[in-house]
Amino acid sequence: MSVKPNNRSLSAPVVRALKKLGTDIALARRRRHITQVSMAERLGISVATLRRLEKGDPRISMGTLAQSLLILGELEKINGLLDTATDDIGLMMMNDALPQRVRTKRLTSGSGGL
């Protein structure tokens, strides 16, 4: 199933991941005995928008998602989503782009003779 926010289709893995995240947020909210009305009020959104978040609607803003994680006591998990220090693909690409040799630059004769 493909969702079309802003006239572009999301891939099936992205749709599944968002649905799982929404389901996990709903489960975490219920485990903490927070009602949808209370959660929506704390987020400053309508209950209908909260329901969309909990269903994994991709049109929900990242700010709303982050605020919901804060309310649930899980905000720190955002910090580790794409930690550049452990980005194996990015680090491998950087290493592949390194020069084979490193040479010192030659001074040109027009440098004033100093």
Q: What are the average pLDDT values for consecutive 10-residue runs of the chain, which has 114 residues? A: 59 97 98 98 98 98 97 92 84 87 80 58
* SS3 state of residue 54: helix
In a domain, 48, yes or no: yes
Rounded CA separation 85/89 (Å): 11
The structure tokens listed for 66 are 């982050």
- Give pLDDT, residue 7: 43
DSSP assignment of 79-98 equals HTTT-GGG-HHHHHHHHHTS
Structure letter (DSSP) for residue 37: H
In a domain, 47, yes or no: yes
pTM over 0.95: no
Domain holding 22, by residue range, is: 5-96
Residue type, 24: D
- Give pLDDT, residue 59: 97
What tens digit of pLDDT does each residue of 49-58 get? 999 999 999 9
Domain count of the chain?
1
In a domain, 108, yes or no: no
The structure tokens listed for 62 are 């990242």
Q: What is the CATH number of the domain that holds 89?
A: 1.10.260.40
In a domain, 61, yes or no: yes
In a domain, 55, yes or no: yes
In a domain, 44, yes or no: yes
